[in-house]
Amino acid sequence: AQSVTQPDIHITVSEGASLELRCNYSYGATPYLFWYVQSPGQGLQLLLKYFSGDTLVQGIKGFEAEFKRSQSSFNLRKPSVHWSDAAEYFCAVGANSGGYQKVTFGTGTKLQVIP
Amino acid sequence: DSGVTQTPKHLITATGQRVTLRCSPRSGDLSVYWYQQSLDQGLQFLIHYYNGEERAKGNILERFSAQQFPDLHSELNLSSLELGDSALYFCASSVGVSGGFHTDTQYFGPGTRLTVL
């Protein structure tokens, strides 16, 4: 079965600083990988996704993520964080299981942005 | 605003009761997904419907059931409620042309917060 680990529960960065959120997955085959953002009181919004091809994926709001098969990682990055990026970020892995397509989410990383 | 609507916004009920959560997908979307977000379990995928048919099941309890109607809205029924069912329940929709869970971009509703007392 697939699993996702987000080792950082909470991260604080200064506005304008770079950001990297870590995500490690476990799955036997090539996974489908996603990053979602959840602002307070809101539903989730897809930032980006990876299925195949170029391992560096560009998303919305200036985010990017890099798939590294050797490290089973799919870290999310942003070169310069804005105060509006404060939110909770979820990494997810999708896989085919028992004839169904399923998704498993990580526990999330809360991002705090300080002036 | 994602275009996905969920009602009610908040629901407070007692243990043992049954509730129904409703989701209206974005116009034209054929797929509807249900998720549960709780402090204990985190974010979990429950079930996926495509054009009225069940397509995928996640960690959905037997006490829970869902359906998608001909007008494409969906309902999640939760019965014999327990304290641990208190959570935020999200609905998402996608175009679902292929019914492909992983390839479609999902648009999430604002959620229904269920409190079981």
pLDDT at A29 exceeding the cut of 70: yes
* Most confident among A92-106, B19-33, B83-97 (mean pLDDT): B19-33
pLDDT at B98 exceeding the cut of 60: no
pLDDT (0 to 100) of residue B101: 59
pLDDT (0 to 100) of residue A54: 87
Residues in chain A closer than 8 A to B98 (CB atoms): none
pLDDT band per the 50, 70, 90 thresholds, residue B74: very high
Q: Calculate mean pLDDT across residues A92-114.
A: 84
Residues in chain A closer than 8 A to B2 (CB atoms): 43, 45
Neighbours of B39 (CB within 10 A): 8
Residue B60 C-alpha, separation from nearest chain A C-alpha, in angstroms: 12
Burial grade of A84 (CB within 10 A; 0-12, 13-18, 19 or more): exposed
% of chain A at pLDDT higher than 90: 71
pLDDT band per the 50, 70, 90 thresholds, residue B99: very low
pLDDT in tens, A58-86: 999 999 999 999 999 999 999 999 999 99
How far apart CA B77 and CA A59 sit, in angstroms, is 35
Residues in chain A closer than 8 A to B103 (CB atoms): 51
Q: Which residues contact A10 (CB under 8 A, 6 or more apart)?
A: A109, A110, A112
**What are residue A46's DSSP bridge partners?**
A36
Residue B66 C-alpha, separation from nearest chain A C-alpha, in angstroms: 17
pLDDT (0 to 100) of residue B103: 67
pLDDT in tens, B4-42: 999 999 999 999 999 999 999 999 999 999 999 998 888
Neighbours of B10 (CB within 10 A): 9
